[in-house]
C-alpha cells in the first residue's frame, strides 16, 4: 500500500471529515480513502459515457433545443443493372 500526506488542509474541511468518519464508524483515514475511491470510480464511469460528459457541459448553459427536420419518404434505390 502507498502512503500519501496531504498538507495545508483547511481546518473546516478536516472537521467535516472527522464528523463524517465518526458518523460512519470509520477512522478519518478510512473515510478519506472511501471518499477518494468513490469519487475516482465515479469519474471513471463518466469518462466512458460520452452522453454524460457532453450533458455535464451543456446543462449549465441552459441545454440545447435542436429542431429536427421532417422526415421525407424513402427514395427508390438506384438500379444497378448494366
pLDDT tier at 61 (50, 70, 90 boundaries)? Answer: confident
For residue 24, the surrounding DSSP H or E stretch is: helix 11-24
pLDDT tier, 43 (very low <50, low <70, confident <90, very high otherwise): low
pLDDT of residue 23: 96
pLDDT at 39 over 90: no
* pLDDT value at residue 55: 82
Residue 46 has pLDDT above 60, yes or no: no
pLDDT mean over 59-72: 86
Q: How far is CA 69 from CA 66, 72, in A?
A: 10, 9
The closest of 73, 55, 72 to 63, measured between CA atoms, is 55
Mean pLDDT for all residues in the chain = 88
The C-alpha atoms of residue 78 and residue 67 are separated, in whole angstroms, by 30
Amino acid at each position: 500500500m502507498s502512503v500519501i500526506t496531504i498538507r495545508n488542509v483547511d481546518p473546516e474541511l478536516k472537521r467535516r471529515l472527522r464528523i463524517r468518519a465518526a458518523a460512519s464508524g470509520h477512522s478519518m483515514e478510512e473515510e478519506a480513502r472511501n471518499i477518494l475511491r468513490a469519487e475516482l470510480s465515479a469519474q471513471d464511469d463518466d469518462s466512458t459515457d460520452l452522453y454524460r460528459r457532453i450533458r455535464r457541459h451543456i446543462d449549465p448553459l441552459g441545454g440545447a433545443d435542436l429542431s429536427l427536420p421532417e422526415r421525407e419518404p424513402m427514395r427508390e434505390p438506384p438500379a444497378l443493372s448494366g
